[in-house]
Amino acid sequence: MNYLQEIIKIDKSSKEISCKKGEILQYAGTITSLAYYVKKGLLRSYSIDGKGKEHVFIFASEGWIMADIESQEFNTPTELFIECLENSELIVFDRKCLVEAKLSDEQRKDEIRLMSRRIAVLQRRVLLLMSSSAKERYNSFLATYPDLPNRVPQHMIASYLGITPQALSTIRREMVGKN
């Protein structure tokens, strides 16, 4: 990705790292402005609510950027953990550094395009959460991310969908019957 090569030049602190399955790259409660481009592998971000329950916010596989823009924007401690789900190769860079840097118009446009894409994804997610049943959300998930079901444990998919593992299990059982 072109945009990323530019970033690497500008942000001297950026670097390529590899991390192992199970590693936590970011803990909730901290303040950070790091972002992770996924060259290979898979990340997830999730929060833990007042009752101790995990909620998967997003998965990021090859080609996506994982960044906790929410906390960075308001400069408040993160609500999100970032975890490595597969042995991965990442490029870490500092969004703060990026914001402060002087970039060309083209580079800014790239940045804006990336953010627009993110907004679009979130908008669809919100509308889906509001308007669809668990089964519909699961089908939509399968259609949107066809490769993830093979790479992600089922209970994390359930968490992403906003349902319990048991509920997802029954949904899947019912669906096999219908094929």
Partner DNA sequence: CGTCGAATTGATGTCATTCAACTACAGTGG
Partner DNA sequence: CCACTGTAGTTGAATGACATCAATTCGACG
Minimum separation from the CB atom of position 172 to DNA (A): 5
Whole-number Å distance between alpha carbons of 12 and 25: 20
Joined together, the tokens standing for residue 127 give 């509308």
For DNA, which is the closer residue by CB, 107 or 132? 132
113 touches its own copies (CB under 8 A): yes
Name the binder of 31 from its own copies, DNA, none, CB < 5-8 A by kind: none
For DNA, which is the closer residue by CB, 28 or 162? 162
Name the binder of 168 from its own copies, DNA, none, CB < 5-8 A by kind: DNA
Subset of residues 34 to 93 that bind its own copies, contact rule: CB under 8 A: 47, 49, 53, 55, 57, 69-70, 72-74, 79
Candidates 4-12, 82-90, 100-108, 166-174: pick the segment binding its own copies (CB under 8 A): 100-108
Whole-number Å distance between alpha carbons of 138 and 135: 5
Query: Interface residues with DNA (CB under 7 A)?
Result: 133-135, 153-155, 162-173
Checking 126-129 for CB contacts under 8 A at 24+ apart, the result is 129/162
Residue pair 89/40 in contact by the 8 Å Cβ criterion: yes
DSSP one-letter string for 14-58: -EEEEE-TT-EEE-TT----EEEEEEESEEEEEEE-TTS-EEEEE
Whole-number Å distance between alpha carbons of 89 and 17: 6
Name the binder of 39 from DNA, its own copies, none, CB < 5-8 A by kind: none
Whole-number Å distance between alpha carbons of 94 and 165: 35
For its own copies, which is the closer residue by CB, 58 or 86? 58
145 SS3 class: coil
120 touches its own copies (CB under 8 A): yes
Interacting residue ranges for its own copies, rule: CB under 8 A: 47, 49, 53, 55, 57, 69-70, 72-74, 79, 99, 102-103, 105, 108-109, 111-113, 115-120, 122-127, 129-132, 162
